[in-house]
Amino acid sequence: MRLPLLVEPRELLEHLHDPHLVLIDVSHALVYREAHIPGARHLEIARILAGTQPCPGTVPEPEQLHRALESLGIEPHHHIIAFDDEGGGWAARFLWTLHLCGHTGYSYLNGGLVAWLSEGYPVTSELPTIDPSKWTVTGHPEVLADADYILSRLGHPDCTLWDARSLEEYTGQLQFGPKAGHIPGAIHLDWTELLDPVRHMRLRPLAELHVLLDKVGLRASTEVICYCQAHHRSALAWLTGRILGMTNIKAYPGSWAEWSTLRHAPTVRLSNPYES
């Protein structure tokens, strides 16, 4: 099956009963039980996160990932479409994890459950039958950056850091961790700027996103590394970059939650929130 990385609800409806398609719903469990796209399998996002403080967004041990992915019944020939009910961050985090584990046949449902429900497409409360699979990890570690890698790339003109948090977090006005501010040289672009609430939480039109990213200096000609607080918001940044054609884009799962704890990791804190 060949589907684009970004799939519209109408397009999904046309393929809904294809046996090679697997839908993964990363919405809140209560929402899933109430109404979900027919056939969608539910994933509790905590199952693919380390969940340990102070860096809950780091990648868990391989065995934990194996169990979570096998329980979804994903096979190598399956094309995965992921979605959630909150703007795409958790769905994107799942797709990033899937890519990291070696499965690259996937798409994101534009607007997720919000668009699907708002536009009147069918839903059910019936739970699907899932036959667990045997997961074989091949791995694509090129989508992951850790703190040491970022430290080695700081200041390189061919590497750009994308901070997807709020402006207040970026400047240091809001502090979540031992230190406030951002990684030196990081470009700020809040993940919410990628979304179009008027169009039921879809991504903004791709032409607009190209202009937006280019305006702030996020370009496909350099390596791009995304981060936020715990690689939730930055997962959507990573996925958006992929959709826009960035082939050398990574994400830092430790993100600010980890960086702010590292004594040797430099930070920048702005006195004026409009400084850049």
Q: Which residues are catalytic?
A: 228
Q: Which residues are CB-neighbours of 104 under 8 A, at least 6 positions away?
A: 98, 140
**C-alpha span between 49 and 62 (Å, rounded):** 11
Q: Which two tokens stand for residue 120?
A: 């009147």
> How many Å apart are CA 209 and CA 215, to the nearest integer?
10
Residue type, 33: R
The CA-CA-CA angle for residues 193, 195, 196, to 5°, reads 115
Residue 87's region, left for phi above 0, alpha for psi from -120 to 50, else beta, is left
3 state SS of 158: coil
- 86's CB contacts (< 8 A; 6+ apart) are 27, 112
